Structure 1
Amino acid sequence: MVMTQALAPPLRAFGPQWHSAVMGTAIVANGASALPVRAPGLHAFAVAMWMLSFVLLLSVSAVRCAHMLTHWDEAKAQLLDRPSNAVFYGCPPMALLAVGQGTLVLGPDVIGAHAAVAVDAVLWSLGAVYAMAVACGIPYLMVTRWRMEGGAVPGWLLPVVAPMVAAALGPSLVPHLPPGQAQATMLYACYAMFGAGLLCTLLLLPGIWSGLARGGLEPITLTPTLFLVLGPLGQSTTAMNQLADVSATAVPDRAAAMEALPVLYGVPVMGFALVWLAVAASANVRAMRKGMPFAMTWWAYTFPVGTCVTGAAGLARHTGLHVFTGMALALYALLLAAWLVVAARTVRGVWTGELL
C-alpha cells in the first residue's frame, strides 16, 4: 500500500515525452546500421542498442498504459488542455517506427528473418496510423480548442514530422510485399506521408523562426528543442534515399525519375541542416554556460541528429562522394556522445526522482 502511494504521483505525471528516450536509443542502433563503413564490433553494438530500444519501448508503453488506466483525467488533460504536453504525442508513433526499423534491419540475428519482418510490419502499421492521427489531431486542436500565446516553437514540429518518419521507414518493407499493386501502393503511400510531413513543416518553420527571432525560447530548458528542426530535414533526406532504393522494384517505369530525387532534394536540404546544426549547437552552448538544468528536452539532441546521420549515409550511397561518408561518421560521433550524456543523466534523474 505504501509503495502504491509512493508511485502514484510519478505515475500521474508520466507523459508521452518519455517515448523520446526510446526514439533516441533506437536511432543510435539504426544510425550505426546505416553508416557507409563497416568496423569491427559495429554491427554487434547496433544489435545491442536495438535490443535496448525494444525493451525501453515495451517498458515506457506499459507505464503509459498504466497511466491512462489509472489517471485518465490527467492523460486527457495532457492532450486536450496542455499544448506544451500535447505536442509530445508525436513521440510515441516515431518510437514505434524507429524500433520497427531496427527490428527489420538488426532483428534477424536475434529473432529470425520472418519474425523480424512480421514485427516491423506490425510496428510500422501502428506507427503510421498513429502518426497520421497525431498529425491531423494536434493541428486541429491548435485551431479549434487552444489559444496559443506567443509565436510557434520548435516543439510544434513533433506531431507533423511523425508521418515523415513513416515515409522514411516504410520503403524497407516494400521488397517483402507481393509484387505489383501491393508494392506500388506502399511506395506511393510513403510519398503521400512524405508530402504531408514536408508541407506541414514548411507551414510551421516561418512561424518558428519569427517566434525565435522576436523572443527566443523561454524557459531556458526549451533550448535543446532547437535541434528538433533537424528532424524533418534529415528525415526527409532519408525518405528520399529510401524511396529511391525501392523504386525500381515497385514502379520500374518511374524509377529513373525517383532515383534522381535524393541528390536533387537531399544535398540542398543537408546543407541547410548543417547551418541549423551550427545555430542550434551555439545556442545550447550559451544556455549551458548560463546553467541550463537537465530536462527531458535534452533528448532532442539525439533523434534529430540521428536522422541527419541516415540522410548523409544515404547521400553517400547515391553519390559515391567520400564527403558524405565523412559527414555521416562525424554526425554519428556527435549522436553517440549526446546519447551517452543524456541517457546517463536520465538514469540518474529517474534514480533520484528528479524526473518523476
Structure 2
Amino acid sequence: TIEKALETRQLKTENSLLRDQSGFNSTLVGHSPLIRTLRDDIQRVAPTLSWIVVSGEAGAGKAVTSRAIHQNSARSSGPYVEANLAAIPFENIATELFGRETGNGLTPGHFEKANGGTLVLDEVGDLDLTLQGTLVSALEENHFFRLGGKDRVEMDLRIIATTHHDLEAKARNGTFRKDLYYRLNAVPITVAPLREHLEDVPDLVDFFVHSIIAQWQLPFRRFSTAALNHLRNQHWPGNVRELRNIVQRLLISANEGDIELAELRFSLGDTDAGKGTVAHRPDVGLDQPLREAREAFEQAYFRHHLDAAGGSISELARRSGMERTHLYRKLKGLGIDPRAPRTHTANI
C-alpha cells in the first residue's frame, strides 16, 4: 500500500543517516599491548559476522569497540543502531525494540532499523527476564512481529551486546537466561579498564585535544610533561570517558599556553599541597552550551584563585599566567570584582 511504501522510504532515509554517523568515535587509541590485542581481536572477528558480547567497565570503550567491529565488517555500509536498554523505561522496551502497528500506521523499532547492518544491545545484562524471553524467541526464529501487527518482519542483521556485568555469573544465578547468554556470546571480547593500560594516557589526551578543538573550534593548548605524568598516575574509576571529560573541561576554559600541573590538579580536585585543603571541581554541566559551560568554569576558576591569592591581582596574574590588563578585562567580563569582600571557595 501507499502507506507502507512511505514507511519503507522513511526507514531507508533513517538508515542512510545512521550509516553517515556510524564512523563517529570508532577510533581505538593507544599503543599498549592491551590495545594492540583488542585491535587484533576486532580484525579477527569483524569479518565473520558472528554475534559478539563486548564486556567492560563503564566508560572503558565498549561503544568504540562495537563501532570499530561494525566499521570493519561486511555490513559497514549498512545502518549502525544502538539500543541503550538501561535507559529505556520498562514499559517502552518492547516497542523500542520491535516497533508498533496501529490504525494510523507503523513505527519501526531498533531491530527493523538495523536490518542490513548492526544492532548494538547496550547493557543487555540490565534487561528484564520477561523481555529476555521475547528477545530469545526473536533471535531463535530470526523474525519478529511488531506490537499490534500481523505481518512477520524478517531479521537480517548482526547483534553486538555490551555489558558491564559478568553475564556468565548472572546466567548461573538465574538473573540472566542461559539460552540468551549462549546465543549472544558466540565471540566474547573484553575491554580493559584504563588503569590497566595507563601508558596510553598521552595518546588518548592528544587524540581528545585535537578532536575537541576541531569540534568546538577552540584554541590549541598542550599538556605539559608534568601534567601528563600526573594523568598517568590517576586511578580513573570512570575510565576513558572520565579522562575525556577532564580534557574537555580544561580546553573550554579561556586560559592560554600550556596546561600545567597546577591547573590540572585544580580541575581534578586534588589536594592543595600548600594548604592541605581540597580544591573541589567546579560544577560545570557538560550538557550545557559551550559558552555557558566555559563561563561557569572560568568564574569558579578565578574566584578560587583570587581567594587563594588573598585578593592580590599580581598573584592571581601569576597563578593564571595572564597579563594584568587582560586579567582585569576578564574579571570584569565575568562579573568578578576583585575589591569585593571575599568568601572562602574551598567547596567550588
Rg larger in structure: 2
* Bucket of the pairwise TM-score, normalised by the shorter protein: under 0.3
Which has more helix, going by share of residues? 1
TM-score (norm 2): 0.26
